Amino acid sequence: MLGQALTDNGDYLADWSDCAGQPERFNARWQEAWRLLSQRHGDALPVEPPPVAAPEWLGKVRLSWQNEAFSRGQMRVEARHPAGEWLPLSPAAPLPAPQTHYQWRWTPLNVASIDQPLTFSFSAGTLARSDELAQYGIIHDPHASSRLMIVEESEDTLALAEKVIAALTASAAGLIVVTRRAWRVEENEALSASHHALWALLRVAANEQPERLLAAIDLAENTPWETLHQGLSAVSLSQRWLAARGDTLWLPSLAPNTGCAAELPANVFTGDSRWHLVTGAFGGLGRLAVNWLREKGARRIALLAPRVDESWLRDVEGGQTRVCRCDVGDAGQLATVLDDLAANGGIAGAIHAAGVLADAPLQELDDHQLAAVFAVKAQAASQLLQTLRNHDGRYLILYSSAAATLGAPGQSAHALACGYLDGLAQQFSTLDAPKTLSVAWGAWGESGRAATPEMLATLASRGMGALSDAEGCWHLEQAVMRGAPWRLAMRVFTDKMPPLQQALFNISATEKAATPVIPPADDNAFNGSLSDETAVMAWLKKRIAVQLRLSDPASLHPNQDLLQLGMDSLLFHELSSDIQHYLGVRINAERAWQDLSPHGLTQLICSKPEATPAASQPEVLRHDADERYAPFPLTPIQHAYWLGRTHLIGYGGVACHVLFEWDKRHDEFNLAILEKAWNQLIARHDMLRMVVDADGQQRILATTPEYHIPRDDLRALSPEEQRIALEKRRHELSYRVLPADQWPIFELVVSEIDDLPLPVCI
């Protein structure tokens, strides 16, 4: 129960792994531990239930009994996270999640110089530059397939966005938008929040209409049109987002940033008697922000919201709380509240969590909806920043969204507003006060708008996982301690994302079209030392990511259980072969399976004294035409499967096979053509003519008879009889063990059911 006593005054180390994911057991264990600790070291008063659920990773715990003079004692429980940190099991305890932190990375793009003129249909504003652009080979042609829009810098964000939306909806032609200073690609560049926001809008449009060439090129303040010509020549459906600086083109991509800052001090706001503002204070994230401020020492908190939740307000304890009924999207209302707070105590800072949505495809979005969303999120942020600058505010934390980064379909208004927040924080990043931070949040699984099972399931199907409240709290504190103007916090499954979003995480895929193809050295080669664990683990992660089809090797945690990611025996055999081939190390499979993680495998490889450098060149395979049809040995895996088909071993008599089934209609399926194609494939593919002789040798047959696909005619049967017949056929194909020494070792069957689809089974 309490495990090993570490000291005499109430500190213990125990293993509670059997309570992981077991609410009832965890609750009972917690209360019994409290009872025992209270009896031994405390007041023996009634126990308290656990304040949190048992995390799935629960294992080792540290228990301690804490007493204060003239107060009730309490039990403190810390659990060891798989990443190594000891974390208190309390509702507000931040949970490190470095694998959910991403940042933009810019990579130079190598493109061949193209001197030929490029033609576009110019937007109305761009027509004024026709003569100037023509000098650099950018020609106006009203009948061109793509439209070119060069965005002016003098207009406000909404006006610019409305022009871009008008161009997007006017026709189905492609659209390339040219911005200036939308990104800080090089150090100390000025940045335009308005132009930064347009990129978020365009990403949404591109994800909603991936078949259209919708793209953006960002220029520095004085980039010549000659460089624009180079950028326009590099744009394609797979390469839509570019920045031009000097004579170099840059590609953006998202990369994990697993570095961590120091922990935020517990009393960071203690001693500042001014007001701390929270907009959208009664929403899920707003409430968390209020509690977080209170825990970090803020004593005066102003809650800004158009509506009040009195029931929750009663639960807010400690300090001074002031409710300010206010629509922050109304500049007049917000100014009144801010002036009043500034005059009555001053303003220390603000967390801007307010926001409204107008989710709809871009084609259906009207100017009123766009303006309403922008006012609450972006206009209010700009007004808060100006007020805090005027009153020596300490901080401004803006709650943005990953929708602006990824281009979430249906969220163009929200993405535009959040893109503006991201740009605003970067535009004013050199200000000492207020320190302005924009945190682009992915989905939250316990609070926020996405915290419903249905919404979380929908988001997961599109590649967006959820952050817990504890992980979100950790990101918030890391954002404060790092001080970077922008932070992207999200849990994603890139393999489930739409292609354009996937491409943001895979820069090599977009570079490939424009980079000259130079045959590289073997990408799998290991050029380091086997004594260098860092180099070995990096090589291992790369190979594992390829095998498991992970988008980013860096996302693999050193202690990640590879079995949970799908590393089965066949994949392990392949990985083991790669290790032997490229590292010259033969690893022990039994020992490897005891700790099948990047760290465990690295330790196993680096501990092999008999390791020898791998051969620099593999042995060249040569085709032996004369022995093409001679018997040859089975591989170890083949031999194991062959024995498994027999009853010579326990649980044998099972064939290793896969059953595929397709439903095809008569008007789209021609059995004669399929049969002809299948026989051509048999003649082409030797292994479709393979048999295994009784002596355990495999052999390729020189010729085989014409294969005729059996056809079950079920048209005369009733629907119920047809269903039973199909189930019987599926059962037969699922469990049948074909004789390995007789050809064929495959089956194709067609079942015909009137004019309904024909199930085709292979």
Neighbour tally for 547: CB within 10 Å: 18
If asked whether residues 450 and 593 sit together in one domain, one would say no
Asked, for residue 263, whether it belongs to a domain, the answer is: no
Q: What is the CATH number of the domain that holds 599?
A: 1.10.1200.10
Distance of alpha carbon 176 from alpha carbon 169, whole angstroms: 14
Distance of alpha carbon 242 from alpha carbon 515, whole angstroms: 14
Position 327 scores a pLDDT of 97
Position 756 scores a pLDDT of 56
H or E element at residue 322: strand 320-325
If asked whether residues 176 and 112 sit together in one domain, one would say yes
Instruction: Identify which of 156, 155, 133, 154 has the alpha carbon closest to the alpha carbon of residue 144.
Output: 133
| Contacts with 717 (C-beta within 8 Å, 6 or more apart), sequence order | 725
Distance of alpha carbon 504 from alpha carbon 525, whole angstroms: 27
Distance of alpha carbon 346 from alpha carbon 348, whole angstroms: 7
| Contacts with 236 (C-beta within 8 Å, 6 or more apart), sequence order | 213, 513
**412-427 vs 380-390: helix crossing angle, rounded to 10:** 20
Position 761 scores a pLDDT of 60
Inter-residue contact 749 to 761 (CB < 8 Å): yes
If asked whether residues 136 and 280 sit together in one domain, one would say no
If asked whether residues 41 and 82 sit together in one domain, one would say yes
H or E element at residue 422: helix 412-427
Asked, for residue 520, whether it belongs to a domain, the answer is: no
| Contacts with 698 (C-beta within 8 Å, 6 or more apart), sequence order | 631, 632, 633, 634, 638, 690, 691, 692
Asked, for residue 144, whether it belongs to a domain, the answer is: yes
H or E element at residue 574: helix 569-578
Inter-residue contact 706 to 676 (CB < 8 Å): no
Position 504 scores a pLDDT of 95
If asked whether residues 305 and 435 sit together in one domain, one would say yes
| Contacts with 92 (C-beta within 8 Å, 6 or more apart), sequence order | 291, 292, 295, 470, 473
Asked, for residue 524, whether it belongs to a domain, the answer is: no
Distance of alpha carbon 427 from alpha carbon 386, whole angstroms: 13
Position 520 scores a pLDDT of 32
Instruction: Identify which of 488, 489, 471, 476 has the alpha carbon closest to the alpha carbon of residue 264.
Output: 476
Asked, for residue 98, whether it belongs to a domain, the answer is: no
Distance of alpha carbon 587 from alpha carbon 21, whole angstroms: 34
Residue with the two structure tokens 């290991």: 526
If asked whether residues 723 and 752 sit together in one domain, one would say yes
Residue with the two structure tokens 């190594």: 84
Asked, for residue 521, whether it belongs to a domain, the answer is: no
Distance of alpha carbon 745 from alpha carbon 687, whole angstroms: 10
If asked whether residues 547 and 497 sit together in one domain, one would say no
Q: How far is CA 552 from CA 288, 494, 548, 647, 739, in A?
A: 32, 9, 11, 44, 43
Q: What is the CATH number of the domain that holds 208?
A: 3.40.50.11460
Residues linked to residue 733 through DSSP beta bridges, in sequence order: none
Distance of alpha carbon 269 from alpha carbon 477, whole angstroms: 13
Give the tokens for residue 484: 């970077």
| Contacts with 146 (C-beta within 8 Å, 6 or more apart), sequence order | 120, 121, 173, 174, 175, 176, 213
For residue 132, give its domain range: 104-256
Give the tokens for residue 699: 């052999």
Distance of alpha carbon 25 from alpha carbon 174, whole angstroms: 60
Residues linked to residue 663 through DSSP beta bridges, in sequence order: 759
Asked, for residue 537, whether it belongs to a domain, the answer is: yes
Where the chain has pLDDT below 70, the residues are 52, 68, 83-85, 90-93, 314-319, 507-524, 608-620, 647-651, 667, 755-762
| Contacts with 82 (C-beta within 8 Å, 6 or more apart), sequence order | 57, 557, 559
Position 517 scores a pLDDT of 27
Model pLDDT for residues 115-130, shown as the tens digit of each residue: 789 999 999 999 999 9
Distance of alpha carbon 460 from alpha carbon 448, whole angstroms: 16
Asked, for residue 586, whether it belongs to a domain, the answer is: yes
In the listed set 55, 90, 125, which residue is the last one of a domain according to the structure?
90
If asked whether residues 245 and 295 sit together in one domain, one would say no
Q: What is the CATH number of the domain that holds 345?
A: 3.40.50.720
Per-residue burial over 91-107, b if 16 or more Cβ lie within 10 Å, else e, is ebbbbbbebbbbebebe
If asked whether residues 664 and 749 sit together in one domain, one would say yes
What's the one-letter identity of residue 406? L
Q: What is the CATH number of the domain that holds 740?
A: 3.30.559.10
Neighbour tally for 756: CB within 10 Å: 14
Give the tokens for residue 358: 């107008």
Listed in sequence order, the DSSP H helices in 188-327 are 193-208, 225-234, 284-295, 310-313
Inter-residue contact 141 to 547 (CB < 8 Å): no
- For 382, list phi and psi in degrees, rounded to 5: -65, -40
What's the one-letter identity of residue 629? Y
Inter-residue contact 567 to 550 (CB < 8 Å): no
- For 111, list phi and psi in degrees, rounded to 5: -130, 150
Q: What is the C-alpha radius of gyration for the chain, rounded to an integer number of angstroms?
A: 32
In the listed set 24, 57, 90, which residue is the last one of a domain according to the structure?
90
Listed in sequence order, the DSSP H helices in 451-498 are 453-461, 469-482
Distance of alpha carbon 693 from alpha carbon 307, whole angstroms: 80
Inter-residue contact 664 to 758 (CB < 8 Å): yes
Give the tokens for residue 200: 């978020």
Model pLDDT for residues 605-651, shown as the tens digit of each residue: 988 654 444 444 556 677 788 888 999 998 878 887 887 887 666 66
If asked whether residues 584 and 648 sit together in one domain, one would say no
Residue with the two structure tokens 């709650």: 399
Model pLDDT for residues 258-310, shown as the tens digit of each residue: 888 988 998 899 999 999 999 999 999 999 999 999 999 999 999 999 999 88
Inter-residue contact 503 to 513 (CB < 8 Å): no
Position 506 scores a pLDDT of 79
Q: What is the number of domains present in the chain?
A: 5
Distance of alpha carbon 595 from alpha carbon 580, whole angstroms: 18
If asked whether residues 435 and 560 sit together in one domain, one would say no
| Contacts with 724 (C-beta within 8 Å, 6 or more apart), sequence order | none
DSSP states along 165-210:
HHHHHH-SSEEEEEEES-S--STT----HHHHHHHHHHHHHHHH-T
If asked whether residues 696 and 601 sit together in one domain, one would say no
Distance of alpha carbon 657 from alpha carbon 663, whole angstroms: 20
